[in-house]
Amino acid sequence: MAGADTAAHQGAAAGPGAAAGPGAAAGPGAAASPDVAASPEAVAGAGAGTPLYVDGHGAILATDLTLESVLGAMRHNPKALWRLPLWIVAGQARAELASRASLDMALLPLNEAALTRIADARAAGRRVVFVTHADAALAGAFADHLGLFDAVIASTAETPLDRCAMREAIAADAALHGGTVFDYLGRDPVLLDAARRGASTDRRHKGETIHRDRPGLREVVKALRVHQWLKNAFLFVPLALTIDRAGVADIAHSIVAFLAFSLVASATYVVNDLLDLQSDRRHASKCLRPLAAGRLSIRQGAGLGLAVFAAGAALAAMLPFAFQALLACYIVVTLSYSIAVKRMLLLDVLTVSGLHTLRIMAGGAALGIEVSYWLLSFSLFFFLSLALAKRYTELAEVGETADRASTGRGYRYVDLETLALMGVCSSFSAVVVLALYIRAPVTLDEVTHPWLMWPICPLMLYALARIWILARRRELQEDPVWFALTDWRSQVTFGLTALIYLVAHVV
């Protein structure tokens, strides 16, 4: 930084953010910045003696540094969070969370409109100060990354900055660098008013805010991953297998179970996205998710997740206790997966396979029927193959540099062939279970001509083998479960399978 000033406040940290000139780039984080509606034109023509104070929350950042540090600590060091109440009592919470968050400042989403105003101010030779209630270490690291600030005002362990303290710090700093007149870019109403009152004597100076569009329905739907609700169609499998003796009440129960499971699953998706903000921002396509891109704030995401969870829980209360217990199990396992299991070698794919199988069990529980051992065995191998295919495609996409740091998973590029071998073996195991079921005593008791079901085996083998061939060709660009449900060839295969099963049980 060219002649950085120390902020004149007990709780202010002098940020070492180097001034990189008026055209300083914002780094990769700017690529993920949200759309903003520009407020009135910036005060680029203000005098060089008038400092500009840029608020981190709601101005330059499309996220909240403090909340980012909380989520980062939960992601990287969840075991230490049991001490959070002690840190809060001791006034060390911000610093302790910041030290454990491991935030990559280059990935944070930025407001392009704010960057433009800052660049204009620096071009006019003005002093630009970054102000935030976040920890001074985080604020300094962010200022260092951008290289656009002359100083930083932030929280320290001795003096945490709430809004009142921040206003006092800005007033004290402004008194040293321009008297009572200053410009402010942010959302604090008192500071905006103070800056605008200064404008009454000099029209070049004013406070302004960066207006951001409220997240629309499209962003909400994307955050909830409503398209993933199709996976919960597996809850209808028990109903489909017993359709000959199902009544209207059974159909209604299956629909309510589907909606309850889908809403709760959406809540867990939001939690997963909140915990995976950093890794999602590194991903070529996941960086476009509303939370990762900053189009949906962390607070909005948390509120949305709580709302859909409450709705799902209310629907689940209408169904048998067995369904509620399985849904609770799904929540616990899914959250464990998001926090830790997804980074554990092999346990991640086994968990994913189990969660899909649990959907089928929940569908049976909603109807008050017991799902057969054969169906559960087939499902475990079937979904394990698809889970391994997903890990295979993720690893292949990263390439030879793939490791735990770059993928957020417990695999390395050298594991690619092993994953493929395990996945293909799981596919064949699923078909073997299916073949054994066709000749099992329980089938012979229910079906007069079980040989009619033999064509199901090659159909399933075709569907699974094709997925793996596409994965090996690097042509499988999406979740294999989603692919299996939406690909027309797979749909034809599953349709023929259902038709053959129905004919075998009717004839």
The span from the CA of 340 to the CA of 75, in Å, is 8
Q: How many CB atoms lie within 10 A of CB 168?
A: 14
Task: Determine the average pLDDT of the residues in 325-348.
Answer: 91
Residues belonging to the chain: 507
> Do 270 and 203 reside in the same domain of the chain?
no
Whether the per-residue pLDDT at 191 is higher than 90: the answer is no
- What is the model's pLDDT at position 491? 92
- What is the model's pLDDT at position 12? 40
Q: Please report which confidence band the pLDDT of residue 236 belongs to, taking 50, 70 and 90 as the band edges.
A: very high
The CATH code of the domain that includes 254 is 1.10.357.140
Whether the per-residue pLDDT at 428 is higher than 90: the answer is yes
- What is the model's pLDDT at position 6? 36
Task: Determine the average pLDDT of the residues in 52-75.
Answer: 85
Whether the per-residue pLDDT at 98 is higher than 50: the answer is yes
> Do 49 and 181 reside in the same domain of the chain?
yes
> Do 352 and 233 reside in the same domain of the chain?
yes
DSSP 110: B
Is residue 359 domain-resident?
Answer: yes
Token pair in block for residue 144? 């260092």
- What is the model's pLDDT at position 209? 57
- What is the model's pLDDT at position 504? 85
Q: Please report which confidence band the pLDDT of residue 265 belongs to, taking 50, 70 and 90 as the band edges.
A: very high
Whether the per-residue pLDDT at 210 is higher than 70: the answer is no
Q: Which of 477, 58, 470 is nearest to 283 (CA)?
A: 477
> Do 311 and 231 reside in the same domain of the chain?
yes
- What is the model's pLDDT at position 13? 40
Q: Please report which confidence band the pLDDT of residue 207 belongs to, taking 50, 70 and 90 as the band edges.
A: low
Is residue 12 domain-resident?
Answer: no
Q: Please report which confidence band the pLDDT of residue 162 belongs to, taking 50, 70 and 90 as the band edges.
A: confident
The CATH code of the domain that includes 142 is 3.40.50
Is residue 87 domain-resident?
Answer: yes
Is residue 18 domain-resident?
Answer: no
Whether the Cβ atoms of residue 246 and residue 230 lie closer than 8 Å to each other? no
Task: Determine the average pLDDT of the residues in 488-503.
Answer: 91
Report the Cα 243 to chain-centroid distance in Å: 38
Q: Please report which confidence band the pLDDT of residue 78 belongs to, taking 50, 70 and 90 as the band edges.
A: confident
User: What residue numbers bound the domain in which 420 lies?
Assistant: 372-507
Is residue 473 domain-resident?
Answer: yes
> Do 84 and 203 reside in the same domain of the chain?
yes
Average pLDDT of the residues of the chain: 82
- What is the model's pLDDT at position 142? 92
> Do 207 and 167 reside in the same domain of the chain?
yes
> Do 222 and 345 reside in the same domain of the chain?
yes
Whether the per-residue pLDDT at 484 is higher than 90: the answer is no
The span from the CA of 213 to the CA of 293, in Å, is 14
Is residue 52 domain-resident?
Answer: yes
- What is the model's pLDDT at position 21? 32
Whether the per-residue pLDDT at 121 is higher than 60: the answer is yes
Phi, psi of 198 (to 5 degrees): -65, -30
Question: Which range (204-208, 346-350, 378-382, 450-454) has the least confidence?
Answer: 204-208
Q: Which of 255, 252, 263 is nearest to 235 (CA)?
A: 255
Whether the Cβ atoms of residue 139 and residue 132 lie closer than 8 Å to each other? yes
Domain boundary among 368, 402, 429: 368
Task: Determine the average pLDDT of the residues in 405-414.
Answer: 79
> Do 126 and 172 reside in the same domain of the chain?
yes
> Do 88 and 224 reside in the same domain of the chain?
no
Is residue 19 domain-resident?
Answer: no
> Do 36 and 154 reside in the same domain of the chain?
yes
Domain boundary among 368, 390, 424: 368
Is residue 22 domain-resident?
Answer: no
How far, CA to CA in Å, does 244 sit from each of 256, 437, 454, 498, 500?
Answer: 20, 20, 21, 14, 15
The number of folded domains in the chain is 3
Task: Determine the average pLDDT of the residues in 309-316.
Answer: 96
> Do 346 and 255 reside in the same domain of the chain?
yes
The span from the CA of 201 to the CA of 123, in Å, is 24
Whether the per-residue pLDDT at 205 is higher than 80: the answer is no
- What is the model's pLDDT at position 201? 36
Domain boundary among 351, 368, 385: 368
Q: Please report which confidence band the pLDDT of residue 42 belongs to, taking 50, 70 and 90 as the band edges.
A: very low
How far, CA to CA in Å, does 205 sit from each of 39, 113, 189, 390?
Answer: 15, 18, 16, 55
- What is the model's pLDDT at position 196? 65
Backbone Cα Rg of the chain: 28
- What is the model's pLDDT at position 48? 53
402 vs 202: which has the higher pLDDT? 402
Task: Determine the average pLDDT of the residues in 137-151.
Answer: 91
> Do 356 and 378 reside in the same domain of the chain?
no
Question: Where do we find the tokens 């038709």?
Answer: 499
